[in-house]
Structure formats: structure tokens, C-alpha cells
Structure 1
Amino acid sequence: MEEVLSDFHMHYPKLDVAVDILPFNDVLEEVAQSRAHIGLAYNPLAHPDIVYRATSSQPVVLLVNAAHPLAQRGGAVTIGEMLQYPLALMPPAFDLGQLIEMLAYTENVEVRPTLVTNSLQVLRQFVTRGDGATLIGAFSVLYREIDAGELAALPILHPYSRQRKHAFS
């Protein structure tokens, strides 16, 4: 967002912008009711009152500190390997929170997150500071932190992690 908002504001200095972080169902409702002009949602459901202007496939990855044992090993991560470390997760009202519930159900495992937050910044800080991990959409990863060798985004060996869509309406 930091790159997009700065450029946008420079081009349209008289336009007011408000950014709210909401569960994807609430994003759809805000756009459908014209309370928001633009919505950005991760894996939204079809909605009869919304036209999606763009979509892209965005797999879910496991974000960890570059010094994390799974990052040092490299490669894709299984659900069992992921659950061996403290997890920070989005609440179930968000698609990433629902994804972990589906993974737990399909794999018949219990997931007990160390931290639950709807803040992507808090999720990133959680993994930056220790041996924790989080599920995050590939589009949300700060590539400069990966390029700088601070964080690692690891693929997850599960079909659900590759079936997510990012939509702009």
C-alpha cells in the first residue's frame, strides 16, 4: 500500500482516501452499498451487485524469519511441519483465517495459534522477531524484506494454498 498510496495522492491531491481493513464479506458489503468506491479482497465470493475489475491467482505462503529452521532448510512446507512452530493467524472472519480452518479440517489436525490479529503488520512483526510463522497471501509479502534476506516466503504443500484469488472491484 505504501507505494500505491503515495503515487495516487501525488496524482490526485484533492481526493480524500480512507483505508479500512475489513473481513472480505464486509468489503463486499461496503462496495455493494456504495459506502466504498473501491474494494480489494482476498478470495471473495461472487456478489450480484459487484463487478470485479481484475483478479489474479495469489497463493498462500508461510512467512518466516530468514533464520527460521524451515527457511534454512528451504523448499515447500507440509501442514505438519508448519504446525511445529508458533503461528500468528488472521481471525476466521478473514479468508486467511478460514483457510487455516479448512486446512485443519481436511488434515484432521488441531491448530492453536499463538497470536490472532487482523493486522498484516503485526503478523510480519511476529515472524520478524523470532521462530514464529504466519500464513499470508503472496501479494502481501514485502519483497524488499525477502530480497534483503530478512524474511522467507515458503510454499505450502496443500492444494488449498494455491487456489486463492485476489480481486479488485
Structure 2
Amino acid sequence: MVASSVLTRMSGLRHFVEVAQQKSFRAAAERLSVAPSAVSKQIRNLEEHLGVELFLRDRGRAGLELTEAGQILLYRCASVMNELTVAREEMNELKGLQRGHLRLGVNEVIASDILPGILRDLHRNFPHLQYTIFVENTPAIMKRLHEGDVDIGLGYNFPSSPDLDVLAVLHRNTYLITALDHPLARRRKVGLHEIADEKFIFPDSSLSLHQMLQDALVRAGIDVRAIMHTNSFTLLRQMVQEGLGVSMVIGRFLQNKREQLAFIAVDSPGFAHKPLSCCRAAGRTPTHSSIAFAASIKALFAQYGGGAVQRGDMGERL
């Protein structure tokens, strides 16, 4: 009886929050996929249990409005519902991560680089784990971390912030990439002056590498022939492979073994090692799935000298 009563009230709270947000029993019912009469009954039961009216039921009003008691309940319900969602995730994950949910924010180059192998291994160990993956630039990932939309962020050049817990860091070199038949393809290192007047494919201004490239070229007084700007590293690499031009990337790629590209280290102080960081929002309790993912990233970084403070380059070992 006690469990049944609690479950009924929890359902009533969920209906109450939806009605308050939609300001309509009918609209709330559509969102909840139930009949309007069922929503109305839940609200009446909740009002009887609390001994207060939660909504002003004036037919002349354009929409339902909360009473003062309703406003208090809605304020408290917001945190309750969030905690219930977290609790549900944690209880699912106690079952051996079999029904957990991992939400990731990653840079595009990471999505086609190290992420597939990590997720393949996680899926092998936890076949029922679900994933939501946002492929975005680092500022957008930062925003999602702060707003609680993702559990883990994986990307380049996260700014130092008390709002972030950095779980692992790997510093990677910058490389010029060319087609295999390019005159520079067999070089181990290249200076910036050697790419003067080359046809160049730029990452666009939404990507942090764009500004880094522009600043380094301006400081060195080097002019290149920009023939394309794109926010897709996949397209950028494909166009380089086709001989359309050259470009620069951070780190070598682990997954795309079929790509026919030459990687030549850039010998210039303007291209210092760039940090690839695995981060989560500070102060939040990590889910079991995010802990498992972070452990996989730490293990991978450690293979190439990465960690909290160590330096290394994943690409140089390949």
C-alpha cells in the first residue's frame, strides 16, 4: 500500500509539472500520451492529498495559472524531477552498466579518430549501454557540459576553468598533411617557409585550428593560396588525399587506416603541442558509464605518454 501510494503521487507530480508548463490539461495530456481526464484526475488527487488548490480554474483565463501553493510546488518539483532522473540512471547502471546511458560531446576529428575504437570496446563489455553523441566544436561542448547535456567532453584546447574537472590530457603534435605523391610527402619535418604559395585547405573559423593557422602564417609572413574552407575534417582529409591541396591537423589518425595521406611534423614554434582533454563538469556526481568511458580514455592516453600532466604525442608512436 505504501509503495503504491508513493508511485501514485510521483505520477501526479509528473502530471502537475507538465500541466504547469503547458498551462493546459489537454496540451499536457498530448505530451504525456494520456487522456485529458486522466491528467485532471491526477491533479485532483494531488490537490486532495496536499489539501490545497494548485491551479486557478477561471474559465475566463486564456490558460491555467498556478496558485501561490502551485508556484511553491513547481519550484520544488524541478529539483525533485532532476534527482529522480539521475537516480533512475544510477539504478540502471548498478545492473552492470547494462542499461545505462552515456552522453558525450566530442570534436569532429575525435569522432573519426579515437572514438570509434573506444566505443567498440565499451560496447563489447556493455552491449546494452546506450549512447548520445554530439559532434561539435570545443565552446559548444563546454556549454553542454555546463548545462548538464553531456557527461563527458573530449576535445582540443579546453580553457582552464574551475567549472571543469580535467580527467586526462594528451598533448599532440601539429602535422602538415599531403597526398602521397606530393613533393613534401617523404619529409619527416617541414618549416613554414616551405609551404609558401601552396594550395591550402583551411578548417573554417568555427574550429580553433583555423585561428591558430592564420596567426602562425601571419607571424611568419607566409602566404598560401586558400582554395577551400570547411568545418568538416573528414572532407578536408579527403580533398587533401585527392590532391586538391595541403592542410594541417593536430595529431595522426588511429582509425582511418585506409586514408592515403602523408603526415609531416611542422617545425615551428607557432605550432606547440596541443592538448586533447577528457573533461566533465565540476561538482557533478559522475555516472557509472562516464567513469567507464573516462577509464578507457586514460588507458589509451597512457599508452602514448598522456595523463594529467605528462606530455606525449599519440601520432608520433604510430
Aligned partner (choices 129, 136, 148) of residue 34 of structure 1: 148
In the other structure, the counterpart of 1:66 is 180
Alpha-carbon deviations, 1:53-104, whole Å to 9, x = none? 00011011011111111114x1322223224322222122322112112213
- What amino acid does structure 1 have at the position aligned with 2:215? M
Report how far residue 142 of structure 1 moved.
Answer: 5.0
Aligned partner (choices 119, 124, 147) of residue 10 of structure 1: 124
In the other structure, the counterpart of 1:21 is 135
Please say if residues 90 and 97 of structure 1, whose CA atoms lie closer than 8 Å, have aligned partners that are also in contact. Answer: yes
Q: Distance in 2 between matches of 1:28 and 1:125?
A: 28
In the other structure, the counterpart of 2:241 is 128
**Aligned pair in 2 of structure 1 residues 19, 85: CA closer, same or farther (>3 Å)?**
farther
Higher RCO structure (Cα 8 Å, ≥6 apart): 1
Q: Distance in 1 between matches of 2:244 and 2:213?
A: 19
- What amino acid does structure 2 have at the position aligned with 1:66? L
In the other structure, the counterpart of 1:50 is 164
Q: Distance in 1 between matches of 2:255 and 2:263?
A: 10
In the other structure, the counterpart of 1:115 is 228
TM-score of the pair, normalised by structure 1 = 0.85
Q: Distance in 2 between matches of 1:48 and 1:13?
A: 35
- What amino acid does structure 2 have at the position aligned with 1:63? I
Q: Distance in 2 between matches of 1:130 and 1:33?
A: 42
Please say if residues 197 and 224 of structure 2, whose CA atoms lie closer than 8 Å, have aligned partners that are also in contact. Answer: no
Please say if residues 59 and 163 of structure 1, whose CA atoms lie closer than 8 Å, have aligned partners that are also in contact. Answer: yes
Q: Distance in 1 between matches of 2:224 and 2:206?
A: 16
**Aligned pair in 2 of structure 1 residues 22, 112: CA closer, same or farther (>3 Å)?**
farther
In the other structure, the counterpart of 2:266 is 156
Q: Distance in 2 between matches of 1:142 and 1:12?
A: 21
Report how far residue 144 of structure 1 moved.
Answer: 3.0
Aligned partner (choices 190, 197, 205) of residue 92 of structure 1: 205
Q: Distance in 1 between matches of 2:244 and 2:209?
A: 20
Please say if residues 197 and 225 of structure 2, whose CA atoms lie closer than 8 Å, have aligned partners that are also in contact. Answer: no
**Aligned pair in 2 of structure 1 residues 12, 98: CA closer, same or farther (>3 Å)?**
farther
Structure 1 residue runs without a partner (length 5+): none
**Aligned pair in 2 of structure 1 residues 8, 83: CA closer, same or farther (>3 Å)?**
farther
Alpha-carbon deviations, 1:32-73, whole Å to 9, x = none? 22111111111221122111100011011011111111114x
Report how far residue 155 of structure 1 moved.
Answer: 0.8
**Aligned pair in 2 of structure 1 residues 64, 16: CA closer, same or farther (>3 Å)?**
same
TM-score of the pair, normalised by structure 2 = 0.48
Q: Which protein is bigger by CA-based radius of gyration?
A: 2
Please say if residues 61 and 161 of structure 1, whose CA atoms lie closer than 8 Å, have aligned partners that are also in contact. Answer: no
Aligned-residue RMSD, C-alpha: 2.1
Report how far residue 139 of structure 1 moved.
Answer: 4.3
Report how far residue 143 of structure 1 moved.
Answer: 7.0
**Aligned pair in 2 of structure 1 residues 111, 85: CA closer, same or farther (>3 Å)?**
closer
- What amino acid does structure 1 have at the position aligned with 2:204? P
